[in-house]
Every structure is written in C-alpha cells, then in structure tokens.
C-alpha cells in the first residue's frame, strides 16, 4: 500500500499518510476551494488501510482552523475510524492544539464528543 | 467630454464613517479569499485583538466569502449589467466589536428559503445552535453548496443577532446583504 503526501497551501493542510507506521498526519488550516475533493483521497486511503492492514491506525491532527465543509469531511473520516474501532480495530486520534488557541481546542472537543475511540487533545506551547 | 473621475474622497469618507477596515467588491476567487484572509488576520493581530476574536472574524469571513463565491458562481453566464458575478465584502469595527458584512445579487426565488433559514437561526440560543449544527453535520450533504452549515457556524460565532436585508433591484434580482457582529 502506498504512502500519500499532499503538500500544504494557504488554505489546505499538509497531509502525510504513512502506511508502514499506520500514521495519518494533517497539519495546517483547512478551507480549500472544494473540501470534498480535497478529503476524498485521504478518506479512500484510510478505508484501504483498514481493509488491507491489520495494524493500528493513528490520526494525528494539528489543524488550527477548519471551515464547515472541512469539518463535515473530517466527521466522515472520524466515523470511518470509529466504526473500525467498534469492531475491534486499534484506532485512535491525537489532536495537537496551541495552548492559546481556544477556538481550535473547542473544535477538537466538539469532535471528541461524538466518538468513543481514544481521542487525546494535546495542548502545546508555553503555559500562560 | 471628460469621463468623471472616481470620487475617492467620498468613497474614503463612507469607509471611515462606516469604520471599514477592509473592503472588496468584485468576483470572488479562491485565491482572493486566501489573500483577504491573510490581510484580515495580520490587521487584527496588529490591533491586538484577542486570539479568539481574530479566529472568529476570520472564520465568519471565510464562510460568508465562500457562500458568496459559490452562489455568484451559479449565476455566472446570465446577462450581467447588474454585476451578478460580483460580491461585496466589508470588515470593520462596530464600537468595541468587529463586523463582517457580505452581499451579492440573488435570484428572488431564493430569497424566501434563505430568509426562512436565517429566521430559524434567530429562534435558537447557543446550545440550540450547537445542536442544530451537529444535526446538520451528520445529515446528507446539501446539493447546492452546504450553505446551511456555514450560516449556523456564523450564528454560533456572532455576539449579537444576525441582521440582513433584501433590496429589490428589478423584477428578477435582489441584493442580499448579511452582517455579523463579533
């Protein structure tokens, strides 16, 4: 199974999907022209990984802002991991937030409310 | 006969009276939205606005601008002496708050449903808006643009009631304008 690397832009996150480590990393801001087109290959990759590999899957997010279309796409991705987790797969989410970015933390917490898989919010940067 | 020069002074005066910081009028492209977004963030950071206020103004700007972009894109190709493909956006101060306003021409047939969606948002408090947001997030993707979700997000970030207007321009089109105070 192939790795996937999508370089970031002003309005789309850097995406690194690493099959050998079972690691999906998204970092940056997300408000692309068409969020559904942007997220489609990422969701397809996760679906393929869950089908072809028995290994754990980790979704590591460092998203300082998501528009509503990106939020909807990320929910689809989380649902995929959540369903895999419910049938016994090892899957978890780690969401990295700047300690002083309250809105990003609130967004992460809202995503966490809707799932039961392990979902860790890691606050980073100097304590105030 | 000379063409009358643009009266920059009166334009400037309206901007200053309206406490407008950044304004754009014209066709919205994705790269223009990115560039204005960068400018908005830089400007607010130099004003020492709180990080949450910067985040909310930016988020409201993105949702409104992307709504205008997708709607005006659908009107493209129609005969256009009204500037159907152009959106108007202004970000400014409103006392101690910030205001993000966006407007564009709309087909009058769309005014009723849009008005109903906005009226529905006014009936909800913040927890009600959050519940509605989550419900729509899980619902089917809307065929048009998903604008419903964007407006709920905007309402959640607003510190005052949303205000909007429809100004009838001719028998087919109205100018829709929405203002959000943060």
Domains with residue ranges and CATH for chain B = 9-181 (3.30.565.10)
Looking only at the bridges linking them, the beta strands covering B97-107 and B173-181 are: antiparallel
pLDDT of residue B78 exceeding 90: no
Residue in A closest to B148 by C-alpha: A68
From A10, A72, A101, residue closest to B137, measured CB to CB: A72
Q: What is the ipTM metric for this complex?
A: 0.94
**Can you give the pLDDT at residue B61?**
98
Residue B46 CA to chain centroid, in angstroms?
A: 23
**B51–A102 C-beta distance less than 8 A:** yes
**Residue B12 burial (C-beta neighbours within 10 Å; 0-12, 13-18, 19+):** exposed
User: Mean pLDDT, to the nearest integer, of A49-58?
Assistant: 97
Q: Using the CB atoms, write b or e for A106-128: b if 16+ within 10 Å.
A: ebbeebbeebebebebeeeeeee
Q: Which residues of B touch A (CB under 8 A)?
A: 30, 33-34, 37-38, 51-52, 55-56, 58-59, 62-63, 66, 130, 134, 137-138, 141, 146, 149-150, 152-153
**A75–B138 C-beta distance less than 8 A:** yes
Q: CA-CA distances (angstroms) from residue B152 to A33, B149, B162?
A: 20, 5, 11
Tokens of B104: 């564009």
Distance CA A75, CA A73 (A): 5
Q: Which residues pair with A95 in a beta bridge?
A: A61, A121
pLDDT of residue A110 exceeding 90: yes
A10, A67, A68: which to substitute to probe chain B, counting the most B Cβ within 10 Å? A68
pLDDT of residue A32 exceeding 70: yes
B175 band by pLDDT with thresholds 50, 70 and 90: very high
Residues of A in contact with B56 (CB under 8 A): 103
B49 band by pLDDT with thresholds 50, 70 and 90: confident
pTM (2 d.p.): 0.94
Nearest CA-CA distance, residue A67 and chain B, Å: 7
The alpha-helical segments, DSSP class H, found in B6-50 are: 8-17, 30-46
B104-157: pLDDT as tens digits? 999 999 999 999 999 999 999 999 999 999 999 887 765 554 558 999 999 999
Residues of A in contact with B149 (CB under 8 A): 68-69, 71-72
Residues of A in contact with B127 (CB under 8 A): none
From A32, A65, A71, residue closest to B58, measured CB to CB: A65
Instruction: Please list, in sequence order, all residues whose beta carbon lies within 8 angstroms of the beta carbon of residue B149, skipping any fewer than 6 positions away.
Output: A68, A69, A71, A72, B133, B136, B137, B142
DSSP character for A59?
A: E
Domains with residue ranges and CATH for chain A = 4-124 (3.30.750.24)
Nearest CA-CA distance, residue A101 and chain B, Å: 7
pLDDT of residue A120 exceeding 90: yes
Instruction: Please list, in sequence order, all residues whose beta carbon lies within 8 angstroms of the beta carbon of residue A66, skipping any fewer than 6 positions away.
Output: A29, A30, A31, A74, A107
User: Mean pLDDT, to the nearest integer, of B71-96?
Assistant: 88
Q: Which residues of A touch B (CB under 8 A)?
A: 10-11, 31-33, 36, 65, 67-69, 71-72, 75, 100-104, 110, 114
**Residue B163 burial (C-beta neighbours within 10 Å; 0-12, 13-18, 19+):** middle
Q: Which residues pair with B25 in a beta bridge?
A: B88
């Amino acid at each position: 199974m192939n790795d996937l690397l999508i370089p970031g832009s002003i309005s789309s996150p850097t995406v690194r999907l690493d099959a050998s480590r079972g690691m999906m990393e998204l970092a940056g801001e997300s408000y692309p022209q068409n969020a559904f087109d942007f997220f489609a290959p990422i969701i397809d990759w996760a679906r393929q990984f869950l089908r072809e590999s028995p290994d754990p899957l980790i979704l590591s997010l460092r998203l300082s802002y998501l528009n509503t279309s990106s939020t909807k796409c990320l929910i689809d991705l989380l649902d995929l991991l959540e369903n895999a987790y419910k049938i016994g797969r090892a899957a978890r989410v780690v969401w990295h937030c700047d300690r002083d970015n309250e809105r990003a933390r609130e967004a992460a917490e809202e995503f966490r409310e809707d799932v039961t898989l392990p979902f860790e919010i890691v606050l980073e940067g100097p304590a105030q | 006969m000379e063409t009358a020069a643009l009266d920059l002074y009166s334009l400037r005066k309206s901007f200053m009276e309206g406490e407008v910081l950044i304004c754009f009028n014209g066709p919205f492209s994705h790269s223009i939205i990115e560039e204005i977004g960068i400018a908005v963030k830089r400007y607010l950071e130099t004003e020492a606005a709180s990080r949450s206020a910067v985040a909310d103004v930016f988020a409201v700007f993105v949702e409104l601008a992307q709504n205008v972009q997708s709607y005006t894109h659908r009107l493209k190709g129609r005969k256009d002496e009204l500037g159907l493909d152009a959106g108007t956006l202004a970000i400014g101060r409103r006392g101690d708050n910030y205001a993000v306003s966006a407007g564009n021409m709309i087909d009058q047939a769309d005014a009723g449903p849009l008005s109903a969606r906005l009226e529905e948002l006014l009936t909800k408090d913040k927890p009600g808006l959050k519940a509605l947001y989550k419900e729509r997030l899980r619902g089917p993707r809307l065929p048009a643009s998903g604008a419903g979700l964007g407006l709920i997000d905007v309402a959640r970030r607003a510190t005052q009631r949303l205000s909007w207007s429809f100004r009838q321009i001719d028998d087919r089109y109205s100018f829709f304008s929405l203002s959000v105070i943060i």
